[in-house]
Amino acid sequence: MKIPFHAGLSESPPGRSLLLVTCWLFGCLLSSCAPERSEELHEFTGLTMGTSWSVLVHAAQLPLTRPRLQSQFNTILNRVNTEMSTYLPESELSRINGSDGTDWLTVSTSLMHMLQAAQDISRLTQGAFDVTLGPLVNLWGFGPEQDFAVPGEEHIDAALRLVGYERLHLDPAASALKKANGGIQIDLSAIAKGNGVDEIADFLERLKLDNYLVEIGGEIRARGVNDKNIPWQIGIEQPVAGQHGVRKIIKLENMAMATSGDYRNYFEKDGVRYSHTIDPRTGRPVSHRLASVTVLHPSAMLADAWATGLLVLGPERGFNLARQNELDAYFIIQDDEGFKEKFTPGFKPYFVNDNNNQASQL
């Protein structure tokens, strides 16, 4: 089954493993305290953006019936998808990508909200995060076609000539955009799941639900406490393809978390792994030793974008930039002996405790 949107490999949707880790952790926490699952924990699940989503709500009573809530979640996520999917030919973004003119185009306010956030993170990461990478995402096969291939130099150079966030102009007051070059193709996959999480979380808050965990493909936002009246606990997994080992457990209170890594979404050719995260400076998949970056931020959308940008920048530049911007970020770096980790000072209070984090020194 091919689900529209996002470059997720269909057999291993991005974030699936984190979802499993999350469920596993809930399982552990619940079983250690009480064998019965509390009736106050309400779970909703579904598929969107080429991956799975889940919402957990801890409440004595739901303000709407379960089917009503489920359908509201679906409506919100379908709307996000029909605005920003590059997999749906009729989406607002596909229509913008399909227009090869350079006139100002009016866009929906929610798409503008996301584009503005994307451009801010592009400036802050000196272009490491760049949503105009569409031609390169497609060239490497991570677009809707999913035909993975190592392109030739001249194709990469040609695609690079169409890329550059400074060539995309925004007029937020008029909710309009203008491409400096008609060939510019926007790809919001690195920020869209985070945005979807924020949309659902904001909806729950409008319903006055204070204890929830929202997750789409591994990007998470949590508020309040779980049904054991403790903050929600999330596993950061070992960055090993095909495995779901938990490396760290962190508690998320009124905070979002996003992870970008090189181990979930990639293809291999002649023994080389090609990640779906592309370095806009080279036009090629990132190839350094940074295996994953986890970012905490009140906004899931910004956590998502930052995680991708820092992953592109790599273990040193990415880490320095995280510190300069006072981000709470956790880096897992591959070396000859295994994995090392480093994290910014603000990340430390989120670790649950050392007993639960024995894998940290691997």
Residue ranges that bind ligand ADP, judged by CB under 6 A: 7, 14, 129-131, 133, 137, 142, 187, 189-190, 217, 260, 264-265, 276-278, 280, 304, 308, 312
Question: In the bound complex, which residue of the shown chain has the CB atom lying closest to ligand ADP?
Answer: 190
- Provide the minimum distance between the beta carbon of 194 and ligand ADP in the complex, in angstroms, as a whole number: 8
Q: How buried is residue 122: exposed, middle or buried, by Cβ count under 10 Å (0-12/13-18/19+)?
A: buried
With CB under 5 to 8 Å by kind, the binding choice for 294 among Mg ion, ligand ADP, none is none
| Contact present, 93 and 86 (Cβ < 8 Å) | yes
Sequence-distant (6+) residues with CB within 8 A of 178 are 102, 103, 104, 105, 168, 169, 171
Task: Kindly state the smallest distance separating residue 84's Cβ from Mg ion, in Å.
Answer: 13
Q: Which amino acid does the sequence have at 50?
A: G
First-to-last alpha carbon distance for the chain, in angstroms, is: 37
Q: Are 114 and 192 in contact (CB under 8 A)?
A: yes
52 binds, among Mg ion, ligand ADP, none (CB under 5 to 8 A by kind): none
Q: Specify the residue, 308 or 344, whose C-beta has the smaller distance to ligand ADP.
A: 308
Residues 126, 279: Cα–Cα separation, whole Å: 12
Exposed / middle / buried, residue 207 (Cβ in 10 Å: 0-12, 13-18, 19+): middle
Nearer to Mg ion by C-beta: 131 or 246?
A: 131
Quick one: what does residue 7 bind among Mg ion, ligand ADP, none, with the CB cut-off 5 to 8 Å set by partner type?
A: ligand ADP
* Cβ proximity to Mg ion, 83 vs 304, nearer residue: 304
To Mg ion, the closest distance from the beta carbon of 219 in angstroms equals: 7
Residues 6+ apart with CB under 8 A from 82: 88, 90, 91, 92
Q: Which does 257 bind (CB under 5 to 8 A by kind): ligand ADP, Mg ion, none?
A: none
- What residue 322 binds from Mg ion, ligand ADP, none (CB within 5 to 8 A, per partner kind)? none
* Residues that bind Mg ion in the complex, under the rule CB under 5 A: 190, 304, 307-308
Question: Minimum Å distance from CB 258 to Mg ion?
Answer: 6
- If contact means CB under 5 to 8 A according to the sort of partner, which of Mg ion, ligand ADP, none does residue 13 touch? none
Nearest to 362 by CA among 261, 248, 264, 260: 248
Q: Which is nearer to ligand ADP, 277 or 344 (CB)?
A: 277
| Partner from ligand ADP, Mg ion, none contacting 131, C-beta within 5 to 8 A by type | ligand ADP
CB of 129 to Mg ion, least distance (A): 8
- Residue 288 DSSP symbol: S
Residues 359 and 348: their CA atoms lie apart, in Å, by: 16
Q: 355: how many CB neighbours lie within 10 A of its CB?
A: 7
C-alpha separations of 62 from 16, 55, 151, 304, 351 in Å: 27, 13, 52, 29, 31
For residue 360, the 8-state DSSP code is G
Residue 260 C-beta: closest distance to Mg ion, Å: 5
In angstroms, the CA 235 to CA 22 distance is 6
Q: Whole-number minimum distance, CB 217 to Mg ion, in Å?
A: 10
Please identify, using beta-carbon distances, which residue of 218 and 231 lies nearer to ligand ADP. 218
51 versus 233: smaller Cβ distance to ligand ADP: 51
211 binds, among ligand ADP, Mg ion, none (CB under 5 to 8 A by kind): none
Shorter beta-carbon distance to ligand ADP: residue 247 or 276: 276
Considering the complex, what minimum distance in angstroms separates the CB of residue 207 from ligand ADP? Answer: 27
Nearer to ligand ADP, 57 or 133 (CB): 133
